[in-house]
Amino acid sequence: MQTLWYTLAAAMMAIYVVMDGFDFGAGALHLWVARTDRERRQVFSAIGPFWNGNEVWLVAGGGVLFVAFPRVLASGLSGFYLGVIMLLWVLILRGIAIEFRSHIEDHMWRAFWDATFAVASTLAPVLFGAVLGNLVRGVPLQADGWFALSLFESWSPRGALGLLDWYTGLTGLLALAALSHHGALFLAWKTDGAVRERSLQSASRLFPAVVALWAVVTGMTVTLVPGFTATLAARPIAWIASAAFVGALGASWLARRAGRDLAAFVCSGAFIVGILGATAACLYPVMIRSHDDPARSLTAFNAAGTHHSLTTALLWWPVGFVLAIVYVVVLFRLHRGKVRSAGSEGYGGD
C-alpha cells in the first residue's frame, strides 16, 4: 500500500510539473518571444485558459502527501520554509501580473507587470528544481524527523547545507532550461506569426542547454549520492523511465525539426515525466533523505499514514483524479486551435 501511494504521489507531482511547467516556460520567455503589446497579449491568450487550473495539480499533490505521508509533508514544509514562502510569493505575483496588466492602458504599467511575470516565471522553476536537488542530495534531517535550511551557507553540497549551493543551483538551472524549452514548444503549437517563429528559435537554442545541464547534473548526482548508480542499475523501472526520457527528448527534437508542433510539445512533456519518474525510482523508498545519516531518512514506510487511512483514501482518489483528467480534456478541447494575433484583452483562440 505504501509503494502504491509513493507512486501516486510521484505521479501527481510529475503531472503538475508538466502542466504548470509550460506556462512557467512561456512566462519566462515571453519578453523575448513577444516584442509588442499585441504579441504579448497573444502569449497571455495562449496560457490564459490553463494557468490557474494547472496549479490545482500542485494542491492535489499536496493532498496526496497530507493523506498518505503526513510526516513528509510536515517536515518538508517546515524545513523548506524559506523556499516555500518564496514560491508562494512567486506564484502570487504571477497571478497578479496576468490579471492586472490590462486593467490600465498605460505603457509603463503594462511593462512593469510584464517584467514581474517574466521574473516570477523564471524564479519558480529554479526554486522547484533547487528543492528537488535538496531531496536527492539530502538535507540535515535530525533524529526526530525535522530539519531547517537557510537560503545558502557554504555554497558547497558537502559543507554546511543551505537551500542553494552549486549542486542545487544546477538542478534549478536544469529545471528552468527544461521548462523554458517545454513552454517554447507550447507557444509554437498554440500561436502563429512572429511569436511562433521566435518560440521555435528559443526551443532550438534551449535544447542543447537542456542536454548539457542534464549531463552535468547526472554526473554530479552520481558523485554526491552514495549508491545512486547501483540503485539505477538494480531497478528495471528506472531503466525504462531513463530510456523513455532520453527517447522522448530526441523525439521532441525530431518533431520540432519536422514542423510537428503538437508532437514536439507532447514529447517534451514525456521527457519531463520520464526524468522525474527515473529520479523517483532511484530514490524509492526514500522521500526525504538524511544527508548525515541515511538511517534517519523519511521513507514511504516509516512516514506513511495508518493502513486504514491509506485504504479509505484509495477509494476516493480515483474519483477526484478522473474528474481532474476530464476537466483538462474538456479545457483543451474548448480552447483547441491556435491563438491568432490578439485583438482583445481576454483569453481565447480559434
- Give pLDDT tens digits for 240-255: 999 999 999 999 999 9
DSSP code of residue 286? E
Q: Is residue 108, in this structure, part of any structural domain at all? A: yes
What is the reported pLDDT for 135? Answer: 95
Q: Is residue 251, in this structure, part of any structural domain at all? A: no
pTM, two decimal places? 0.94
Backbone angles phi, psi at 151, to 5 degrees: -65, -45
Count of CB atoms situated within 10 Å of the CB of 270: 18
Rounded Cα–Cα distance for residues 120 and 107 (Å):
20
Per-residue pLDDT in tens (0 to 9) along the chain, 350 residues: 999 999 999 999 999 999 999 999 999 999 999 999 999 999 999 999 998 889 889 999 999 999 999 999 999 999 999 999 999 999 999 999 998 998 888 899 999 999 999 999 999 999 999 999 999 999 999 999 999 999 888 888 888 889 999 999 999 999 999 999 999 999 999 999 999 999 999 999 999 999 999 999 999 999 998 888 888 888 999 999 999 999 999 999 999 999 999 999 999 999 999 999 999 999 999 999 999 888 999 999 999 999 999 999 999 899 999 999 999 999 999 998 898 764 444 444 33
Least Cα distance to 190 among 315, 16, 82, 349 occurs for 349
DSSP code of residue 288? E
Rounded Cα–Cα distance for residues 225 and 237 (Å):
19
Backbone angles phi, psi at 158, to 5 degrees: -110, -15
Answer positive or negative: Cα dihedral of 252, 253, 254, 257: positive
Least Cα distance to 85 among 20, 131, 17 occurs for 131
What is the reported pLDDT for 348? Answer: 40
What is the reported pLDDT for 341? Answer: 62
Q: Is residue 269, in this structure, part of any structural domain at all? A: no
Q: What's the first-to-final CA gap in the chain, in angstroms?
A: 45
Count of CB atoms situated within 10 Å of the CB of 280: 21
Residue 219's Cβ-side half-sphere holds a number of Cα atoms within 13 Å equal to 6
CA dihedral 130, 132, 136, 139 (to 10 degrees): 60
Do 272 and 214 meet the contact criterion of CB atoms below 8 Å apart?
A: no
Least Cα distance to 173 among 112, 122, 208 occurs for 122
Q: Is residue 65, in this structure, part of any structural domain at all? A: yes
C-alpha cell of 50? 490553463
Number of domains in the chain: 1
Residue 224 CA to its chain's centroid (Å): 23
What is the reported pLDDT for 343? Answer: 46
Alpha helices in the chain (DSSP H): 2-33, 37-47, 51-54, 56-68, 70-79, 81-100, 107-137, 166-190, 193-224, 228-234, 236-257, 261-283, 307-334
| pLDDT per residue as tens digits for the range 211-223 | 999 999 999 999 9
Q: Is residue 247, in this structure, part of any structural domain at all? A: no
**Residue 162 contacts by C-beta under 8 Å, 6 or more apart in sequence?**
149, 150, 151, 152, 153, 154, 155
Count of CB atoms situated within 10 Å of the CB of 207: 19
**DSSP three-state, residue 20:** helix
Instruction: Tell me the residue range of the domain where 188 lies.
Output: 2-225+284-334
